[in-house]
Amino acid sequence: MFKTRTAFFWERVILILMVLFMYSFDIAAKDDGLARTPPMGWNSWNKFQTDISEQKIKESADAMVSSGMRDAGYVYLVLDDGWMAKERDINGNLTADLNKFPNGMKVIGDYIHSKGLKFGIYECRGYKTCAGLPGSFNHEEADMNTFASWGVDYIKLDGCFAEQNGRLSSKELAIYSKAIEKTGRPMVLSISDFGNGSWAWGTKEFAHLWRTSYDIYPDIESVYSCANTTAGSTVIHPAFNGLWQFAGPGHWNDADMLQVGNLPNNNQDKIHFSLWSILASPLMAGNDIRTMSADVRKILTAPEVIAVNQDSRGFQGYKVYENKGQEIYNKPLSDGTTAVLILNKGDETTDITVTWDMIGLKGKQKVRDLWEQKDLGKFKDFFTAKALSKHEHLLLKVGNSGDKPLPGPSPLPLEKYSVTKNGTTYLSDLYYIMKYGDAPRMDRNYKNDTISIQGIKYTKGIGCRNSSRIMYKLSGKANRFQAVIGLDDSNTGSEAGRFRVLNEDFFGHQVLFDSGNLTKDKAAVKIDIDVKGIEFVLLMFEGRKVLGNWADVKVITQ
């Protein structure tokens, strides 16, 4: 059949719109149908660390069934670090630590499967795991085959020692992704890159979830800090309002495994669970489910709270209000309603009001309390959570089920955080896509004064303090990277600072420039390096109690 000119025209328009849509979300996700909603399961690390055994794992599998966890959606049972023997076998294959798992891993996998659960296992892309056991570096294909032969369904791949591999992280993960594909067995790939910027450099092409934080501890401040890596500006420029635009069906920001049941009280357990639910973070329980109390079980299996996390739209919740520790998060759901979390982290007891404006609604709206599973009534224009004291919260559902899905916010346009134009782009005019350490200052030194090195003042540049890493997205569009680096003239002591420029991320560890240790009496150093084809640069400044400047830092595109 011949297409009319109008049909061609509309086909073109639709194609262009699709491309623009993908471009605006910066999507190139691995979409193999796995992890369409955030993975749910249990992982051995938070409670047991390396102290695991066949008996403990089998008992935990039993408990996942008898407690109702499996039926609530927790299907992956993941053995974290500590399951393997100290050495590979004579053929170079990974084997179980026979003191802990006398019958090997296949038997464990079979047991887990016999309970209607899925089998997850831990490895590391370094030459050894974080606990010092054999890592997968240089054994990628063989190890993925071994896992497939044991019936593994989920791999947690850690990053310890990966900086010694001499391979870009993106190249390395492509190797794992291909090796997994080659086994023919579908396996979820969970990246444990603790704060290394995986969301930025494209892990979603290779993996289904990636860690955004360092390890979580059973302490509410640690819970808040992990949540803030994905919902705040701890690891990314504030203009992004968290990492929500990098998540969606099949690819998730992972704020780390749950400490629900390990926290000092059930109130904190609930806050933790509400935060992970609204942030669409994977729900990997980390308590001893064999002995958990009825209250903890109720929290972990709360159906309406889980439903928020598992909503098929896969929108990651984001903050719509933040002031003095009072926070409101919003997560538009697939049924036309929206989930709202109102949390008081501050010291003062206070009312917190969510207005319908903040969440894209108008007029009279139904409000339901998801923990109490109770309708609270209809409210016009706003809802006030009354007298919330420190560490109190409400998780609500607002709106009418069956209405048209509410729009979320717009993702930050690419030109705001990537090199897109010809000529000179000052990096201080772009939003960084990843940071570690104190937030840098744009076009000022860290103290907010004019950047000054050896008496010379600069109007453009980035001011840092102590150890910091900042990642910028070049998108392969720049030819040269130029800067003048040196310690700021305001430093009073003899502290030293070291400046390095890396291709991509820290674990890939391809150093393009290294200043060595610079002290204040050293002249500024000019950098002019080739960055042709490079997707990301990482600016590293290392020092203690010292201010350093990336003066005039820019890239040139021809």
Candidates 192, 203, 222, 326: give the one binding ligand GLA (CB under 6 A). Answer: 192
Q: Is 219 exposed, middle or buried (0-12, 13-18, 19+ CB in 10 A)?
A: middle
Give me the least distance between CB of 187 and ligand GLA, in Å please.
17
Whether the CB-CB separation of 305 and 292 falls below 8 Å is answered with no
Residue (135 or 314) nearer to ligand GLA, CB: 135
d(CA 461, CA 427): 8
**Would residue 96 be called left, alpha or beta, if left means φ above 0 and alpha means ψ between -120 and 50 degrees?**
beta
**130 counts as binding ligand GLA under rule CB under 6 A:** yes
DSSP notation for 85-139 = -SS--TTS---B-TTT-TTHHHHHHHHHHHTT-EEEEEEESSSB-TTSSB--TT-
β-strand pairing of 338-344 with 392-398: antiparallel
- Taking the CA atoms of 216, 139, 109 and 101 in sequence, report the sign of the dihedral they define: negative
Scanning 125-133, 367-375, 453-461, 535-543 for contacts with ligand GLA by CB under 6 A, the matching segment is: 125-133
Q: How many residues does the chain have?
A: 558
Give me the least distance between CB of 477 and ligand GLA, in Å please.
33
Choosing from 80, 81, 158, 552, which is the catalytic residue?
A: 158
**215 counts as binding ligand GLA under rule CB under 6 A:** yes
Residue (286 or 463) nearer to ligand GLA, CB: 286
Mind spelling out the 3-state secondary structure of 186-217? CCEEEEECCCCCHHHHCHHHCCCEEECCCCCC
Residue (45 or 550) nearer to ligand GLA, CB: 45
The Cα angle at residue 253 between residues 367 and 359, in degrees rounded to 5: 25
- What φ, ψ does residue 430 adopt, rounded to 5°? -105, 160
Residue (191 or 551) nearer to ligand GLA, CB: 191
Whether the CB-CB separation of 213 and 289 falls below 8 Å is answered with no
Residue (434 or 524) nearer to ligand GLA, CB: 434
Query: Token pair for residue 35?
Result: 């992890």
Residue (129 or 146) nearer to ligand GLA, CB: 129
Give me the least distance between CB of 420 and ligand GLA, in Å please.
35
- What φ, ψ does residue 22 adopt, rounded to 5°? -65, -40
Scanning 68-76, 127-135, 464-472, 498-506 for contacts with ligand GLA by CB under 6 A, the matching segment is: 127-135
**269 counts as binding ligand GLA under rule CB under 6 A:** no
Give me the least distance between CB of 133 and ligand GLA, in Å please.
9
**80 counts as binding ligand GLA under rule CB under 6 A:** yes
Candidates 54, 81, 288, 488: give the one binding ligand GLA (CB under 6 A). Answer: 81
Q: Is 215 a catalytic residue?
A: yes
- Binding string to ligand GLA for residues 134 to 173, with x set by CB under 6 A, is what? ------------------------x---------------
> Smallest Cα–Cα separation from 427: which of 445, 441, 437?
441
Residue (45 or 536) nearer to ligand GLA, CB: 45
**45 counts as binding ligand GLA under rule CB under 6 A:** yes
β-strand pairing of 188-192 with 209-211: parallel
Scanning 25-33, 126-134, 418-426, 439-447 for contacts with ligand GLA by CB under 6 A, the matching segment is: 126-134
**194 counts as binding ligand GLA under rule CB under 6 A:** yes
Choosing from 62, 97, 215, 443, which is the catalytic residue?
A: 215
d(CA 484, CA 479): 17
Candidates 34, 85, 107, 131: give the one binding ligand GLA (CB under 6 A). Answer: 131
Give me the least distance between CB of 46 and ligand GLA, in Å please.
8
Please give the positions annotated as active site: 158, 215
State the residues that interact with ligand GLA by CB under 6 A: 45, 80-81, 122, 129-131, 158, 192, 194, 215
